[in-house]
């Protein structure tokens, strides 16, 4: 047998002949079948369900057969692997034949092209007879005639793309009163140029629009060139296009349709970028639904809107000119892909049907028209009136999407009927159909999803307790009783009902969270209502086999396309620009010019309709959509990641190479997107939850608290209303970003208060810092060693005295393996310089000249340790020549110069939070570390190093508060006063250091069940250097106390160490209190071939073990403590991660 089961391409339909044969199987069973003679099938097929039900013996094919549709896309969910041998009797005509086993929908047997070729029968279509008069000798009774019933079957395709053009409609399919208008339900070709109207499409340019737009001619195939000639000739003849001399030129390309024909499309991206957006609104959803709620019967019609029915405003035609290999042409009618097309359409419909809409006899939203009525008589009158108007304006309708004389219908995701509006089942189908868990992992996955909405569900903890009990008994025998089933159903019902699930409102920003797995797509549509984000709808879609074969970038983009299609009526005319949240970092593919295939071209055209921003979020925070994309059991083990099809301006954050901790750029590009901060200010302006205390202050002390343009200012700072999401965003931005650098409470408070204020700001920042797991893992805990500290005398001005130290050796980064740290002892400003541990005295002198002297001059004094590079003869001579006095610290005890030692700890802490796992990109982060420290308030001075040096704070591209502009004289005087205050503050700080140095430190006790951090002391690390590794691992649960001062911990199974530790190595975990800090439940494994498989996020190292190689794997959604060594044979589904790892190795060699 052939190894392909296909149908001929570019065929709209197949003539089928229905016959009734008698089948005798190899085990002697005789079965009467329904059969089709189908020339569209290359092989004879028998229905899989029939074979199973009748237990017909099967044989295995030598090679699997892939079943394909007419357009080449894959049909069905699996390959054909079996066939049946049989004796077939059709009205006395006997033969032996083989039939492959596959699901058939309409018949038991398909007699395919192979059967027709073998018999070559004579078919009389008029008489309905098949004559077997040319059969091979193997057939008995070869001259049998068989009667048949002909029928047409339309071939389908699985590809997710546009609707097919409508077929002509039989008037008999329409209600009697609509039959005179049957021609409106056919596709119409208009040879006459439309008249000019008040809704002609306008193209208005923004200010500073370019005087010309150039482009190149896209290459085309011979067939495409032939279609282009046809398009140009036809449209020139009807005056829909005309030759042009425009300075603007858009390229054009072809998009294949489902039937194999081609549609010419213009690439109007550059034109759309400079077109003023038409703000003509679509009807309010609430008004449309309210207009329909009391009706008893409906007609619903879906319009096929021909763009060519709308003229371009006279004088604007040249703006839409397009370039071909036959020259430049400009359209006189609106073409697909132009900005503002939906707005023009909405205005057109509102104008044509204004009277019916105003008197309540018609509701319209985009291309849907709903005619409501109290009875059939009223419905008939209103429908005839509507169709007459449509006929007058040459409008057509899509019969397959129309509904006539129905008592209920779905409108905008809401079911209208019987005097009420209810939620459409499709919105919550993904939740209601959630399969009952069968493993603890599946329970964790479900609870991880439900936790996002627990604040809306009363008594959530109590309801979920039976499910949480299963989590706590991981590893024990699985059970699922009535108690668990009731909790599971109750939580599902709560999520799919109010107050969790909300009906969409006309105002409020939308957010679409999407994800795709190897076998499905998931999405959540949410809307901000009353300062809280409520889910509006859920989506969980299985990928067809064809879709599972998409490239990585196509598969992930498909998740976005499916969500936009499903929720188009909410998002197309959203009052605010909506955001699409996705965790896929490989979106860069589509940001470069690409040769789009047919599917991508259609998607590209669809995306032009929407106004959205794409926000990249780490995969571990995209749990909701990720879980929904994995609700269906997979059929394949190839799980792909990542894509982009979007222009730069659509991105809130630029997506570059990410680190294990942050998926944002080195310079925190959000701050350079003015739109992002404008959005934050707009959210603050719109938030009405203003605290009484602030409003009272504004009344009593207007000079202290005032309002300007909707923003309240308190002592010059922006008041942030009582909105947890906004405050959380600000806290996260001032703590977790690279230029914030995880500051402590004091420094973070000063940073936030430069711009913002709210009543509980100090408490919130203290709670935020305390709950940051990155700080808890990485920061040095300063415990006094009971030696009295002796701070050095305080300098009189900046850069009079400096201290120098070296951090190293470090893993090589750009050929450097150490950092020179230079600190001004007065202002605490630092300079960080990458260098090598082989630094000579001459090298250090050169660094000093380039990095310090040229900015700050020569210091009077240098504090340093007695490293060999500083004690050399050359440096002695240099110091003497420059008049620099040297003061060496006490031998082997650097606390005499504790300032530099503490500075080294801060630098190392910063780098731990941001560098990659291999620790070889630390040079990339040094400029940010330096900026971060110099912009943070120092506890000893009460000021930032920047301010003490320059008298101002650097602008970071974020929101700033207007202040007066002081004169140069007043600035100098203020700076002198500030420096005097800083000096006094340092004196007081020295006294505090002496007292603190003699205080004793007491640790708080631990209890069973507490979560703790474990010091990395004496624990082997897989990372290159302990200096830049985490200070602590965890968190780990305390299982029990052992003796007076030791505790047993619950460690990962992969840790081959003793699990009892002294209390001095443990630190209690502070739980996060803010949403942005909370870690989602780790994603459940994929179940592939009944085995669990976890997703590989990154390969971090390799080693030789015996004769093979093992790889250190970091699992997606899990901490570093769960990293494990995996043999090469277990990574067959992680080739992409392996390739990325090899690319980072010298010469790509293991």
More confidently predicted of 882 and 197:
197
Residue 1090's pLDDT is: 57
Residue 806's beta-bridge partner residues? 820
DSSP labels, 834-882: EE-TT--HHHHHHHHIIIIIHHH---SEEEE---TTTSSHHHHHHHHHH
The secondary element (H helix, E strand) that includes residue 561 is helix 552-566
More confidently predicted of 951 and 1112:
1112
Q: Is the pLDDT of residue 272 over 90?
A: no
More confidently predicted of 1103 and 642:
1103
DSSP secondary-structure letter at 589? G
Residue 370's pLDDT is: 92
8 Å CB contact between 690 and 722: yes
8 Å CB contact between 626 and 1084: no
Give the tens place of pLDDT for each residue, 245-256. Answer: 999 999 888 876
Neighbours of 1007 (CB within 10 A): 10
DSSP secondary-structure letter at 572? T
Q: Which of 147-161, 448-462, 963-977, 1038-1052 has the lowest average pLDDT? A: 147-161
Q: Which of 357-361, 819-823, 990-994 has the lowest average pLDDT? A: 990-994
**What is the arithmetic mean of pLDDT over 1080-1101?**
67
Q: Cα separations (Å) of 853 from 859, 911, 954? A: 8, 26, 22
| pTM exceeds 0.85, yes or no | no
Residue 247's pLDDT is: 94
Is residue 189 packed enough to be buried (19+ CB in 10 Å), middle (13-18) or exposed (0-12)?
exposed
Taking the C-alpha atoms of residue 613 and residue 1098, their distance in angstroms, rounded to an integer, is: 28
- Non-local (6+) Cβ contacts of 379 within 8 A are 297, 298, 299, 371, 373, 405
Residue 93's beta-bridge partner residues? 90
Residue 630's pLDDT is: 58
Q: Is the pLDDT of residue 517 over 70?
A: yes
Taking the C-alpha atoms of residue 483 and residue 352, their distance in angstroms, rounded to an integer, is: 59
Taking the C-alpha atoms of residue 1050 and residue 45, their distance in angstroms, rounded to an integer, is: 58
8 Å CB contact between 509 and 581: no
> Mapping DSSP to helix (H, G, I), strand (E, B) and coil, where does residue 950 land?
helix
Q: Cα separations (Å) of 1147 from 75, 285, 814, 1143? A: 43, 60, 16, 8
Residue 660's pLDDT is: 27
Taking the C-alpha atoms of residue 75 and residue 662, their distance in angstroms, rounded to an integer, is: 41
Q: Which of 53-67, 673-687, 887-901 has the lowest average pLDDT? A: 887-901
Please report which confidence band the pLDDT of residue 322 belongs to, taking 50, 70 and 90 as the band edges: very high
Give the tens place of pLDDT for each residue, 954-994. Answer: 776 655 554 444 444 444 555 555 555 555 555 555 555 55
Q: Which of 304-308, 316-320, 770-774, 944-948 has the lowest average pLDDT? A: 304-308
Residue 31's beta-bridge partner residues? 23
Residue 815's pLDDT is: 86
**What is the arithmetic mean of pLDDT over 1014-1027?**
69
Taking the C-alpha atoms of residue 87 and residue 82, their distance in angstroms, rounded to an integer, is: 17
The domains of the chain, with CATH numbers, are: 4-154 (2.40.70.10), 171-423 (3.10.10.10), 424-501 (3.30.70.270), 502-655 (3.30.420.10), 688-770 (1.10.340.70), 801-950+970-996 (3.30.420.10), 1011-1077 (no CATH), 1086-1148 (2.40.50.40)
Please report which confidence band the pLDDT of residue 127 belongs to, taking 50, 70 and 90 as the band edges: low
Residue 712's beta-bridge partner residues? 707
Q: Which of 427-441, 499-513, 1018-1032, 1108-1122 has the lowest average pLDDT? A: 1018-1032
Report which of 559, 436, 725 is spatially closest to residue 160, judged by C-alpha positions. 559
φ, ψ for residue 255 (rounded to 5)?
-120, 120
DSSP labels, 1031-1056: SEEEEEEEEEEETTTEEEEE--TT--
Taking the C-alpha atoms of residue 1006 and residue 1023, their distance in angstroms, rounded to an integer, is: 30
Q: Across 209-223, 376-390, 797-811, which has the greatest mean pLDDT? A: 376-390
- Non-local (6+) Cβ contacts of 863 within 8 A are 792, 801, 802, 803, 804, 825, 887, 889, 897, 899, 900
Give the CA angle between residues 546, 1083, 565 to the nearest 5°.
Answer: 40
Most distant pair of Cα atoms in the chain: their distance: 120
Q: Is the pLDDT of residue 536 over 60?
A: yes
> Mapping DSSP to helix (H, G, I), strand (E, B) and coil, where does residue 467 land?
helix
Neighbours of 1054 (CB within 10 A): 10
Please report which confidence band the pLDDT of residue 316 belongs to, taking 50, 70 and 90 as the band edges: very high
Is residue 638 packed enough to be buried (19+ CB in 10 Å), middle (13-18) or exposed (0-12)?
middle
Q: In the chain, count of helices (H) and strands (E)?
A: 31, 51
Q: Across 485-494, 584-593, 779-788, which has the greatest mean pLDDT? A: 485-494
Residue 319's pLDDT is: 94
Residue 149's pLDDT is: 46
Q: Is the pLDDT of residue 1080 over 50?
A: yes
Residue 963's pLDDT is: 42
More confidently predicted of 163 and 1026:
1026
Taking the C-alpha atoms of residue 237 and residue 190, their distance in angstroms, rounded to an integer, is: 12
Give the tens place of pLDDT for each residue, 629-661. Answer: 555 554 444 333 334 455 444 444 332 222 222
Residue 350's pLDDT is: 87
DSSP labels, 475-530: TS-----HHHHHHHHHHHHHHTSTTTS----SSS-EEEEEEE-SSEEEEEEEEEET
Q: Which two tokens stand for residue 879?
A: 């110091």
> Mapping DSSP to helix (H, G, I), strand (E, B) and coil, where does residue 66 land?
strand
8 Å CB contact between 320 and 312: yes
Residue 371's pLDDT is: 92
Q: Across 481-495, 620-634, 668-682, 1009-1023, which has the greatest mean pLDDT? A: 481-495
More confidently predicted of 313 and 56:
313
Tokens 């474990």 correspond to 1014
More confidently predicted of 873 and 327:
327
Residue 260's pLDDT is: 62
The secondary element (H helix, E strand) that includes residue 377 is helix 376-392
Compute the mean pLDDT over every residue in the chain, rounded to the nearest whole number: 73
Residue 1023's pLDDT is: 67
Report which of 714, 737, 667 is spatially closest to residue 957, judged by C-alpha positions. 667
Tokens 């004289």 correspond to 969
Q: Cα separations (Å) of 945 from 779, 830, 942, 952? A: 21, 8, 10, 10
Q: Cα separations (Å) of 134 from 139, 140, 599, 681? A: 10, 12, 45, 82
Please report which confidence band the pLDDT of residue 847 belongs to, taking 50, 70 and 90 as the band edges: confident
Give the tens place of pLDDT for each residue, 870-880. Answer: 544 445 655 66
The secondary element (H helix, E strand) that includes residue 6 is none
Buried b (16+ CB within 10 A) or exposed e, 820-855: bbbbbbbbbbbbbbbbeeebebeebbebbeeebeee
Give the CA angle between residues 398, 400, 402 to the nearest 5°.
Answer: 70
Give the tens place of pLDDT for each residue, 946-955. Answer: 888 887 777 7
Please report which confidence band the pLDDT of residue 736 belongs to, taking 50, 70 and 90 as the band edges: confident
**What is the arithmetic mean of pLDDT over 836-859?**
79
Residue 382's pLDDT is: 94
Please measure the distance between the N-terminal and C-terminal CA atoms of the chain and give it in whole angstroms. Answer: 44
Q: Is the pLDDT of residue 799 over 70?
A: yes
Please report which confidence band the pLDDT of residue 1086 belongs to, taking 50, 70 and 90 as the band edges: low
Q: Which two tokens stand for residue 1059?
A: 């699990």
Please report which confidence band the pLDDT of residue 416 belongs to, taking 50, 70 and 90 as the band edges: confident
Give the tens place of pLDDT for each residue, 145-154. Answer: 555 444 434 3
Q: Helices 440-450 and 482-495 sit at what angle, rounded to 10 degrees?
A: 30
Buried b (16+ CB within 10 A) or exposed e, 72-87: ebbbbeebbebbbebe
**What is the arithmetic mean of pLDDT over 797-813?**
84
Give the tens place of pLDDT for each residue, 192-214. Answer: 678 899 989 999 998 888 988 88
**What is the arithmetic mean of pLDDT over 770-775?**
78
Q: Which of 123-132, 421-430, 1044-1053 has the lowest average pLDDT? A: 421-430
8 Å CB contact between 673 and 652: yes
**What is the arithmetic mean of pLDDT over 81-97?**
82
% of the chain residues with pLDDT over 70: 67
Give the tens place of pLDDT for each residue, 697-718. Answer: 877 777 778 887 788 888 878 8
**What is the arithmetic mean of pLDDT over 461-476?**
73
Q: Which two tokens stand for residue 466?
A: 């039976």
8 Å CB contact between 842 and 824: no
More confidently predicted of 756 and 593:
756
DSSP secondary-structure letter at 1147? G
> Mapping DSSP to helix (H, G, I), strand (E, B) and coil, where does residue 601 land?
helix
Q: Is the pLDDT of residue 244 over 90?
A: yes
- Is the backbone peptide bond immediately before 1035 cis, with ω within 30 degrees of 0? yes
Taking the C-alpha atoms of residue 1040 and residue 1012, their distance in angstroms, rounded to an integer, is: 12
Q: Is the pLDDT of residue 415 over 70?
A: yes
Give the tens place of pLDDT for each residue, 27-39. Answer: 666 788 888 887 7
Buried b (16+ CB within 10 A) or exposed e, 510-521: bbbbbbbbbbbb
């Amino acid at each position: 047998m052939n190894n392909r089961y296909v149908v001929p391409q570019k065929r709209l339909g197949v003539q089928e002949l229905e016959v009734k044969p008698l089948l005798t199987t190899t085990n002697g069973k005789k079965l009467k079948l329904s059969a089709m003679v189908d020339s569209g099938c290359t092989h004879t097929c028998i229905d899989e369900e029939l074979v199973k039900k009748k237990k017909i013996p099967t044989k295995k094919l030598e090679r699997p057969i892939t079943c394909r549709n007419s357009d080449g896309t894959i049909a069905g969910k699996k390959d054909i692997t079996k066939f049946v041998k049989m004796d077939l009797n059709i009205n006395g005509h006997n033969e032996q034949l083989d039939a492959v086993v596959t699901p058939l929908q309409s018949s038991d047997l398909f007699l395919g092209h192979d059967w027709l070729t073998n018999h070559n029968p004579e078919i009389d279509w008029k008489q309905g007879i098949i004559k077997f008069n040319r059969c091979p000798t193997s057939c008995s009774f070869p001259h049998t005639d068989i009667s048949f019933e002909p029928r047409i079957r339309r071939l389908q395709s699985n590809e997710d793309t546009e609707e097919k053009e409508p077929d002509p409609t039989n008037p008999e399919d329409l209600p009697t009163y609509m039959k005179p208008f049957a021609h409106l339900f056919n596709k119409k070709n208009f040879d006459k140029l439309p008249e000019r109207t008040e809704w002609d499409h306008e193209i208005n340019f923004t200010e500073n629009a370019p005087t010309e737009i150039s482009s190149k001619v896209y290459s085309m195939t011979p067939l495409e060139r032939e279609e282009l000639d046809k398009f140009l000739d036809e449209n020139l003849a009807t005056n829909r296009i005309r030759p042009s001399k425009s300075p603007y030129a858009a390229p054009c390309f072809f998009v294949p349709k489902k039937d194999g024909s081609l549609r010419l499309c213009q690439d109007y991206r550059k034109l759309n970028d400079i077109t003023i957006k038409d703000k003509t609104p679509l009807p309010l959803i609430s008004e449309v639904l309210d207009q329909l709620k009391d009706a008893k019967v409906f007609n619903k019609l879906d319009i096929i809107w021909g763009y060519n029915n709308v003229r371009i405003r006279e004088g604007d035609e040249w703006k839409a000119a397009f370039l071909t290999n036959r020259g430049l042409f400009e359209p006189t009618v609106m073409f697909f892909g132009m900005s503002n097309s939906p707005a023009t359409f909405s205005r057109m419909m509102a104008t044509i049907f204004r009277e019916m809409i105003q008197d309540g006899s018609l509701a319209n939203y985009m291309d849907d028209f709903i005619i409501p009525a109290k009875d059939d008589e009223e419905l008939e009158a209103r429908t005839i009136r509507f169709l007459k108007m449509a006929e007058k304006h040459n409008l057509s309708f899509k019969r397959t999407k129309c509904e006539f004389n129905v008592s209920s219908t779905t409108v905008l995701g809401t079911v209208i009927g019987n005097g009420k509006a209810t939620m459409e089942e499709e919105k919550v189908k993904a939740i209601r159909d959630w399969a009952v868990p069968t493993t603890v992992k599946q329970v964790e996955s479900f609870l991880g999803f439900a936790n996002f909405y627990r604040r809306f569900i009363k008594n959530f903890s109590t309801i979920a307790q039976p499910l949480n009990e299963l989590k706590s008994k991981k590893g024990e025998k699985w059970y699922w009783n009535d108690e668990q089933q009731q909790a599971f159903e109750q939580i599902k019902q709560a999520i799919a009902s109010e107050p969790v699930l909300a009906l969409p409102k006309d105002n409020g920003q939308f957010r679409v969270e999407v994800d795709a797995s190897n076998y499905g797509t998931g999405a959540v549509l949410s809307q901000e209502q009353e300062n809280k984000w409520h889910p509006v709808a859920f989506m969980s879609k299985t990928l067809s086999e064809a879709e599972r074969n998409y490239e990585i970038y196509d598969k992930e983009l498909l998740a976005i396309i499916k969500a936009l299609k499903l929720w188009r009526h909410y998002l197309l005319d959203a009052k605010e620009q909506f955001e699409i949240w996705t965790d896929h970092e490989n979106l860069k593919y589509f940001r470069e010019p690409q040769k789009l295939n047919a599917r991508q071209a259609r998607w590209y055209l669809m995306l032009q309709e929407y106004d959205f921003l794409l926000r990249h979020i780490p995969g571990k925070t995209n749990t909701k959509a990720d879980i929904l994309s994995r609700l269906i059991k997979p059929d394949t083990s190839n799980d792909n990641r990542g894509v982009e099809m979007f222009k730069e301006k659509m991105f809130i954050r630029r997506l570059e190479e990410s680190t294990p901790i942050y998926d944002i750029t080195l310079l925190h590009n959000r701050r350079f997107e003015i739109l992002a901060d404008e959005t934050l200010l707009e959210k603050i302006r719109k938030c009405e939850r203003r605290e009484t205390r602030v409003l009272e202050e504004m009344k009593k002390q207007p000079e202290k608290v005032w309002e300007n343009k909707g923003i309240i200012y308190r002592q010059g700072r922006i008041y942030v209303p009582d909105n947890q999401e906004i405050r959380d965003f600000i806290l996260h931005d001032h703590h977790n970003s690279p230029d914030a650098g995880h500051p402590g409470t004091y420094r973070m408070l000063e940073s936030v208060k430069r711009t913002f204020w709210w009543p509980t700001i100090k408490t919130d920042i203290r709670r935020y810092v305390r709950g940051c797991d990155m700080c808890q893992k990485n920061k040095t805990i300063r415990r006094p060693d009971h030696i009295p500290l002796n701070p050095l005398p305080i300098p009189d001005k900046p850069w009079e005295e400096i201290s120098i130290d070296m951090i190293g050796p470090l893993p090589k980064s750009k050929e450097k393996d150490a950092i020179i740290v230079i600190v001004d002892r007065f202002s605490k400003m630092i300079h960080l310089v990458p260098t090598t541990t082989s630094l000579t005295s001459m090298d250090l002198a050169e660094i000093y000249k380039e990095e310090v002297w040229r900015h700050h001059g020569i210091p009077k004094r240098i504090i340093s340790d007695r490293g060999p590079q500083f004690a050399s003869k050359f440096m002695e001579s240099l110091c003497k020549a420059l008049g620099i006095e040297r003061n060496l610290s006490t031998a082997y005890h650097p606390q005499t110069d504790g300032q530099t030692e503490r500075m080294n700890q801060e630098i190392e802490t910063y780098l731990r939070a941001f560098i990659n796992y291999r620790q070889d990109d630390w040079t990339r982060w040094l400029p940010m570390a330096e900026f971060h420290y110099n912009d943070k308030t120092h506890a000893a001075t009460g000021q930032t190093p920047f301010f003490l040096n320059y008298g101002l704070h650097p602008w970071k591209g974020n929101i700033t508060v207007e202040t007066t502009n002081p004169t140069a004289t007043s600035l100098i005087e203020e700076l002198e006063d500030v420096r005097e205050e800083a000096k006094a503050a340092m004196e007081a700080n020295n006294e505090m250091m002496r007292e603190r140095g003699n205080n004793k430190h007491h640790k708080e006790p631990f209890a069973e069940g507490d979560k703790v951090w474990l010091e990395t002391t004496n624990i082997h690390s897989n990372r290159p250097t302990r200096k830049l590794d985490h200070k602590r691992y965890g968190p780990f649960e305390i299982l029990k106390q052992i003796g007076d001062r030791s505790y047993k911990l619950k460690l990962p199974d992969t840790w081959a160490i003793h699990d009892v530790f002294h209390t001095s190595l443990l630190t209690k975990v502070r739980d996060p209190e803010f949403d942005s800090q909370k870690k989602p439940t780790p994603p459940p494994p994929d179940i592939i071939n009944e085995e669990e498989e976890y997703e590989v996020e990154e390969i971090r190292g390799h080693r030789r073990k015996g004769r093979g190689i093992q790889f250190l794997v970091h699992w997606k959604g899990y901490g570093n403590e769960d990293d494990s060594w995996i043999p090469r044979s277990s990574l067959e589904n992680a080739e992409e991660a392996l390739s990325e790892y090899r690319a980072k190795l010298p010469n790509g060699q293991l």
